[in-house]
């Protein structure tokens, strides 16, 4: 960062905050709740965790949604983007508990009421962080209607849904295995569990048949749980054990008799093909036990030590000690048949780092089949479309094998379950029960239960608000793939069940942005990047060093636009690796565009460049200039393409297509071509230049909103905010295929001469005399070609170097810089290439089967290519 400000460089840090303030104070982010539902475009943001800070996934998803929102706002849609945060039960509770511990107290000491108050206060103070970070990114959401999954109306929506599902018999209470964390002595959610790969020992243990006719050998990594075994299972299709189903075995060390059951969960090719069934300590066994009506025993307590009274010798031992002791005893008793290393993934607690102990406890659940079927239908019949399409298969697969959902969490922060108990009585209702002696269920609901209501609860449901009528169903849900089940599927179920309509028409699953080494971006691995460090500048983590092993240094302050562009350009239908180059590419585009506007503004200074009422920059019927017709046509095409790509969620193509247009057409050619003209005496130029820049800024605005808004105000004749401007309807009258073709030839000609110059070592400066020996170039085209190729078109004869161009050749006359003799080797090389290609093409055309079987247009294209090559060969 230099001390002196270079005025040719756009400074995002200066421009962005001011631009954002202008948008917000103009109130353009708010939709009209009374608008026509048919003209609505709405999005409910996936609510980020209230404890969170913006990470790369949020930044990508925020950029994606903002592109959709801004494009549709400029189309004149009535736009609503609901923003807000999720109360995130465990994460938030953990944060506050940590603070209490630091103060030398605990949640148990201060009590539930004080704890919840304390957490509310914490949220008031810190919960807005991520929302403000979204502002930095340029997110144009409706901040005035920010929602929280525990605000007043939302609590009512959650309770109403719970009570309704309870009354309909879909919510019930039962025993279930939870993820018990022996370290923190509480149940934790799946989200707080991380799978780690460990190497355990797979033990093979013989269980003798009760009738003495032999034995079965089971394989297990957790022999200590055998004390609570209730059965042995084999696959009914497994011929080895076909005769055993229905017989029984004797459990070693304990002596209990266990039935042998058949269940096709058992894999015939894993372990020994016999599985011990311990419903009290393994989720899969629990399912199998349920299917077969087996009882559930437990032999491990909440402290992770052996209990149960099945084998007193091991009681009180930790699971690890018990494992050693049990294996020893089995070995001594001759029951241990084999042991081998076995690498697999097992769950660990994020909080304590201890291995999760599945534990049986009383929980609230929800039956899912009845809710799942309509959600399956909605995707099958296309009312909800999932992009990319491949993800819908995963969605359907999961719903088709859906299992009951455990709703209750042993936490204090969240939606407390609206159920009260008195003796054997149970009451479920929104209002507390009348009478004395009732006690409320202490548990809260899984955070995803309330999140599932997000698309409609944020619009005021269960009240029939104007917002709900206008903006529900929402248009698009954009999210990371990994919560397709946890969240998306549940929103579809709840939307169909309660408001009675799908919650959104399109679901877009965006890429996961990985670290350069292909790992996930993660704070703990040091592979994460704070998007604010890219926007404002900040330390670059070591894995992102430009050269391996070198000091990683700092990110430059790329600004929000560059970060948005880069993330969108990186995004794909699959996971992608983060590339700082794409962010830098965005910064280049921004600088380029800013300078283009600077150039145009200089030309247009003091001119009236109001457009005719129909919006067309070209005077009707007038003989407009080639380059003007060309840029108008090209701009119109890019406008359509970019919008179409955004509509089909191809954000990378939209962003990179913009880059190519701004660099490769607008700046490289149009601005260069018009430099010979003077706006003050050329009314066409003023209009077309202003039009092309304005349209380009409009097209680019959804992707790079700040710089385009800043530039918008610098073009004469624009008023109001770009973000609030209306896109004109597509206009076929602006398309001009002839102009595109004709100027395309001029560009090819100029490029051919430049290329020759460079490879022939002719200095770029001098203007060389040359003859244009080619058809199809009018005076205008000749003038452009001469100026940008730096040649002077003459009629003189003489020795010359020939450069092949569309329609013929340019003969550069021999002179100070041009020596035809020195050209020989270059020409010979090119001739060899052309001859080889002619040979290939002629052979293809001469192939009888090609001529007869290939489509006519392919054959014609080959013939045209051959003709072109033969023409070039003549010039060589």
Least distance (Å) between residue 763 CB and RNA: 6
From residue 505 to residue 534, what is the string marking binding to RNA with x (rule CB under 7 A)? -----------x-xxx--------------
Query: Which residue among 588, 714, 721, 794 contacts RNA (CB under 7 A)?
Result: 588
What's 577's DSSP letter? Answer: E
C-beta of 240 vs 840, nearer to RNA? 840
Least distance (Å) between residue 59 CB and RNA: 16
From residue 284 to residue 323, what is the string marking binding to RNA with x (rule CB under 7 A)? x---------------------------------------
Using CB under 7 A as the binding rule, whether residue 112 contacts RNA is answered as no
Tokens 């494992």 belong to 323
Number of residues that bind RNA (CB under 7 A): 75
Least distance (Å) between residue 662 CB and RNA: 9
d(CA 601, CA 682): 15
Q: Restricting to residues 464-483, name those near RNA by CB under 7 A.
A: 482
Range in contact with RNA (rule: CB under 7 A) among 178-186, 312-320, 377-385, 843-851: 843-851
Using CB under 7 A as the binding rule, whether residue 30 contacts RNA is answered as no
d(CA 204, CA 498): 51
Using CB under 7 A as the binding rule, whether residue 582 contacts RNA is answered as yes
- Counts for the chain of helices (H) and strands (E), in that order: 28, 30
Question: For residues 513 and 60, is the Cβ–Cβ distance under 8 A?
Answer: yes
From residue 550 to residue 569, what is the string marking binding to RNA with x (rule CB under 7 A)? ------x-------------
Query: Which residue among 423, 602, 606, 621 contacts RNA (CB under 7 A)?
Result: 602
Range in contact with RNA (rule: CB under 7 A) among 334-342, 466-474, 629-637, 659-667: 659-667
Range in contact with RNA (rule: CB under 7 A) among 59-67, 289-297, 426-434, 573-581: 573-581
Using CB under 7 A as the binding rule, whether residue 667 contacts RNA is answered as yes
Neighbours of 127 (CB within 10 A): 20
Using CB under 7 A as the binding rule, whether residue 656 contacts RNA is answered as yes
C-beta of 536 vs 575, nearer to RNA? 575
Using CB under 7 A as the binding rule, whether residue 751 contacts RNA is answered as yes
Using CB under 7 A as the binding rule, whether residue 858 contacts RNA is answered as yes
Least distance (Å) between residue 159 CB and RNA: 30
Neighbours of 208 (CB within 10 A): 15
In terms of Cβ atoms closer than 10 Å to its own Cβ (0-12, 13-18, 19+), residue 779 is: exposed
Question: For residues 311 and 230, is the Cβ–Cβ distance under 8 A?
Answer: no
From residue 670 to residue 699, what is the string marking binding to RNA with x (rule CB under 7 A)? -xx--x------------------------
Q: Restricting to residues 217-276, name those near RNA by CB under 7 A.
A: 267, 269-270
Query: Which residue among 146, 151, 506, 575 contacts RNA (CB under 7 A)?
Result: 575
CA torsion sign for 276, 281, 285, 291 is positive
Range in contact with RNA (rule: CB under 7 A) among 155-163, 199-207, 662-670, 721-729: 662-670
Question: For residues 793 and 831, is the Cβ–Cβ distance under 8 A?
Answer: no
C-beta of 344 vs 726, nearer to RNA? 344
Using CB under 7 A as the binding rule, whether residue 700 contacts RNA is answered as no
In angstroms, what CA-CA distances link 589 with 424, 594, 644?
A: 70, 8, 21
C-beta of 70 vs 790, nearer to RNA? 790
In angstroms, what CA-CA distances link 752 with 24, 329, 536, 789?
A: 50, 86, 43, 9
Range in contact with RNA (rule: CB under 7 A) among 24-32, 61-69, 498-506, 663-671: 663-671
C-beta of 371 vs 788, nearer to RNA? 788
Question: For residues 335 and 183, is the Cβ–Cβ distance under 8 A?
Answer: no
Using CB under 7 A as the binding rule, whether residue 572 contacts RNA is answered as yes
Tokens 């002719």 belong to 762
Using CB under 7 A as the binding rule, whether residue 660 contacts RNA is answered as yes
Using CB under 7 A as the binding rule, whether residue 598 contacts RNA is answered as yes
d(CA 458, CA 83): 9
In angstroms, what CA-CA distances link 572 with 114, 529, 653, 654, 661?
A: 47, 19, 9, 12, 21
Q: What is the β-pairing status of strands 231-234 and 274-277? A: antiparallel
C-beta of 457 vs 596, nearer to RNA? 596
Least distance (Å) between residue 754 CB and RNA: 4
Using CB under 7 A as the binding rule, whether residue 117 contacts RNA is answered as no
Contacts with 228 (C-beta within 8 Å, 6 or more apart), sequence order: 278, 280, 281, 297, 298, 299, 300, 308, 310
Using CB under 7 A as the binding rule, whether residue 758 contacts RNA is answered as yes
Range in contact with RNA (rule: CB under 7 A) among 157-165, 466-474, 585-593, 703-711: 585-593
Tokens 């026509």 belong to 36
Q: Which of 380, 366, 385, 391 is nearest to 448 (CA)?
A: 366
d(CA 454, CA 499): 12
C-beta of 206 vs 261, nearer to RNA? 261
Output the DSSP codes for 52-67.
Answer: ----HHHHHHHHHHHH
- Looking at 369-446, list the stretches that DSSP marks H as alpha helix, in order from N- to C-terminal side: 369-380, 390-400
From residue 331 to residue 350, what is the string marking binding to RNA with x (rule CB under 7 A)? -------------xx-----
Output the DSSP codes for 475-492.
Answer: EEEEEEGGGIIIIIIHHH
Least distance (Å) between residue 101 CB and RNA: 31
Q: Restricting to residues 393-432, name those near RNA by CB under 7 A.
A: 394
d(CA 94, CA 114): 15
């Amino acid at each position: 960062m230099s001390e002196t400000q270079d005025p040719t460089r756009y400074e995002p840090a200066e421009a962005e905050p001011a631009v954002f303030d202008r948008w917000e104070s103009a109130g353009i982010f708010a939709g009209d709740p009374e608008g026509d539902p048919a003209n609505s475009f709405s999005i409910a943001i996936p609510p980020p965790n209230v404890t969170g800070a913006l990470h790369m996934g949020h930044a990508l998803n925020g950029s994606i949604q903002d592109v959709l929102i801004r494009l549709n706002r400029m189309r004149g849609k009535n736009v609503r983007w609901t923003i807000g945060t999720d109360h995130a039960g465990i994460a938030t509770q953990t944060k506050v508990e940590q603070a209490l511990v630091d103060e030398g107290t605990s949640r148990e000491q201060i009590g539930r009421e004080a704890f919840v108050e304390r957490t509310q206060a914490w949220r008031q103070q810190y919960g807005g962080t991520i929302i403000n970070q979204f502002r930095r990114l340029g997110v144009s959401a409706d901040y005035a209607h920010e929602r929280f999954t525990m605000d007043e109306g939302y609590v009512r929506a959650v309770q109403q849904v719970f009570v309704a599902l309870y009354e309909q018999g879909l919510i019930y209470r039962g025993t279930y295995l939870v993820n018990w964390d022996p370290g923190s002595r509480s149940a934790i959610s799946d989200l707080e569990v991380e799978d780690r790969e460990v190497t355990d020992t797979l033990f093979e243990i013989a269980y003798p048949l009760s009738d003495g006719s032999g034995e079965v050998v089971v394989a297990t990594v957790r022999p200590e749980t055998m004390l609570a075994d209730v059965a042995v299972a084999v696959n009914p299709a497994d011929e080895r054990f076909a005769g055993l189903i229905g017989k029984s075995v004797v459990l070693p060390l304990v002596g209990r008799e266990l039935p042998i059951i058949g269940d096709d969960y058992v894999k015939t090719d894993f372990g020994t093909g016999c599985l011990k069934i311990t419903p009290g300590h393994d989720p899969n066994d629990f399912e199998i036990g349920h299917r077969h009506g087996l009882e559930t025993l437990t032999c491990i307590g909440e402290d992770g030590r052996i209990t149960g009274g099945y084998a007193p010798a091991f009681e009180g031992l930790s699971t690890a000690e018990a494992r050693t002791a049990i294996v020893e005893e089995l070995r001594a008793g001759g029951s241990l048949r084999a042991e081998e290393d076995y690498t697999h993934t097992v769950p660990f607690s994020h909080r304590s780092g201890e291995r999760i102990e599945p534990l049986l406890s009383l929980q609230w659940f929800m039956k899912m089949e009845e809710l799942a079927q309509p959600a399956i239908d909605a995707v099958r019949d296309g009312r909800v479309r999932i992009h990319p399409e491949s993800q819908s298969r995963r969605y359907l697969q999961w719903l088709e094998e859906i299992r009951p959902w455990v709703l209750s969490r042993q936490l204090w922060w969240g939606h407390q379950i609206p159920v009260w108990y008195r003796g054997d009585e149970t009451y479920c209702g929104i209002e507390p029960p009348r009478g004395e002696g009732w006690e409320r269920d202490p548990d809260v609901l899984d955070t995803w239960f309330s999140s599932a209501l997000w698309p409609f609860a944020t619009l005021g449901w269960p009240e029939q608000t104007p917002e709900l009528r206008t903006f529900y169903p929402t248009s698009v849900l954009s999210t990371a793939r990994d919560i397709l089940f946890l969240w998306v599927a549940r929103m579809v179920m709840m939307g169909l069940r309660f408001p009675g309509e799908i919650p959104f028409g399109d679901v877009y699953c965006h890429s996961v942005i990985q670290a350069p080494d292909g790992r996930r971006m993660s704070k703990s691995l040091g592979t994460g990047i704070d998007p604010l460090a890219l926007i404002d500048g900040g330390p670059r983590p070591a894995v992102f060093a430009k050269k391996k092993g070198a000091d990683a240094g700092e990110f430059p302050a790329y600004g929000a636009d560059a970060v948005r562009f880069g993330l969108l350009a990186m995004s794909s239908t699959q996971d992608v690796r983060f590339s700082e180059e794409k962010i830098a590419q965005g910064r280049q585009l921004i600088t380029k565009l800013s300078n283009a506007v600077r150039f145009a503004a200089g030309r247009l200074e003091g001119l009236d460049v109001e457009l005719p009422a129909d919006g067309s920059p070209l005077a009707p019927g007038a003989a407009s200039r080639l380059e003007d017709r060309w840029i108008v046509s090209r701009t119109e095409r890019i406008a359509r393409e970019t919008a179409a790509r955004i509509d089909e969620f191809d954000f990378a193509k939209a962003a990179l297509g913009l880059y190519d247009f701004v660099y490769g057409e607008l700046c490289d050619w149009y601005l260069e071509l018009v430099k010979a003209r003077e706006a003050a005496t050329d009314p066409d130029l003023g209009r077309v230049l202003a039009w092309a820049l304005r349209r380009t800024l409009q097209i680019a605005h959804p992707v790079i909103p700040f710089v385009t808004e800043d530039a918008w105000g610098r073009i004469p004749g624009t008023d109001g905010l770009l973000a609030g401007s209306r896109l004109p309807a597509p206009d076929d009258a602006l398309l001009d295929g002839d102009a595109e073709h004709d100027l395309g030839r001029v560009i090819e000609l100029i490029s051919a001469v430049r290329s020759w110059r460079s490879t022939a070592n002719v200095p770029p400066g001098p203007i060389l005399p040359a003859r244009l020996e080619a058809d199809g170039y009018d005076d205008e085209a000749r003038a452009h070609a001469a100026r940008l190729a730096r040649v002077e078109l003459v009629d003189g004869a003489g020795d010359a170097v020939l450069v092949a161009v569309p329609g013929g050749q340019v003969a550069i006359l021999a002179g100070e810089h041009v020596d035809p003799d020195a050209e020989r080797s270059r020409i010979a090389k090119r001739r060899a290439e052309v001859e080889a290609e002619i040979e290939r093409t002629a052979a293809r055309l001469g192939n009888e089967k090609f001529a007869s079987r290939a489509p006519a247009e392919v054959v014609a294209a080959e013939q045209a290519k051959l003709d072109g090559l033969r023409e070039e060969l003549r010039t060589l």
